[in-house]
Chain A
Amino acid sequence: GQNIDQPTEMTATEGAIVQINCTYQTSGFNGLFWYQQHAGEAPTFLSYNVLDGLEEKGRFSSFLSRSKGYSYLLLKELQMKDSASYLCAVRGPTGGGNKLTFGTGTQLKVEL
C-alpha cells in the first residue's frame, strides 16, 4: 500500500518563500507529482519528479529523494493567489495501472 504524509496547514507571507514537505512509504514507486487545488476546483498539475534531485519551473521547484521517501515543493515570491491546497501524489508501479495515491493535502494561506 501507500502512505503519504504532508502537513495539514501552513501560513506564509506574500513575497516570501515556503517549503511544503511530503514523505511517503510505498510498495512501488513510479514518480511523484505535486498538484495545486483551489477550493471547489479540480487539481492542476505543478510538477513531476521520478529521479532524485530538483526540478525547477518558474516560481515553483520540487525536490525528490527516493532513498529517503521524501519530496518538497518550494514556492518562491509568494502571491495571494497561491493560497490553495497543495497535494502530493505518488504513482504506483507501471504494472499497477499508473494509479495515483494522494496525500491529505497542505492548505497554504498567504497573508499580507
Chain B
Amino acid sequence: GAVVSQHPSRVICKSGTSVKIECRSLDFQATTMFWYRQFPKQSLMLMATSNEGSKATYEQGVEKDKFLINHASLTLSTLTVTSAHPEDSSFYICSAGGTGSGEQYFGPGTRLTVT
C-alpha cells in the first residue's frame, strides 16, 4: 500500500513560537492531502484540504492565518502552527489519496506539545 510519512513525530515548543510539520507521500503523487487534528479520546477533525499548487481549503472554525498550509509539490505538504499556544497541543495527522474509490492513507501523526 501507499506510504505517507510525517516529520517530526513529536515536538515540544514554547508558547508563541511556530512549528512546521511535514507530510510526504513516499511512493505516489498526491494532488490532495488532508490535515486532521485529534484531541485525546476524541475523533479526527478535518482542519483543511491541501491542494497542490493552489490555496488550501479550510474547514469552518479553523483559522487560516494561524494554521498555514503549503503544498508546493505533489509529494509534500506542510502545516505551520504559528504563534502556538497550549490549547494547540494535539495530535496532528495528515493523509493523502482518497480520490476515486481509493482510501486515504494516513501518516503516523505528529504529537505537538506547547508549554
Contacts and interface: CB of A to CB of B under 8 A. Distances in A.
A44 interface: yes
Interface of A: 31, 33, 35, 40-45, 48, 50, 87, 91, 97-105
Please provide the 4 A-B residue pairs with the shortest distance between their CB atoms, ordered closest to farther: A42-B106, A102-B43, A98-B98, A102-B44
A101 B105 contact: no
B105 A45 contact: yes
A42 B94 CA distance: 9
Interface of B: 1, 32, 34, 42-46, 49, 57, 91, 93, 95, 98-99, 101, 103-109, 111
Chain B residues touching A, majority SS = strand
Contacts of A31: 101
A87 to B, nearest CB: 6
Contacts of B109: 40-42
Contact of B108 (A41, A45, A101): A41
A97 B32 contact: yes
Contacts, number: 52
Nearest to A4: B43
B48 to A, nearest CB: 10
5 contacts: A33-B104, A41-B109, A42-B106, A44-B106, A100-B34
Q: Chain A CB within 10 Å — which of B46, B91, B107 has the most?
A: B46
Contacts of B1: 45
B107 to A, nearest CB: 6
A98 B57 CA distance: 12
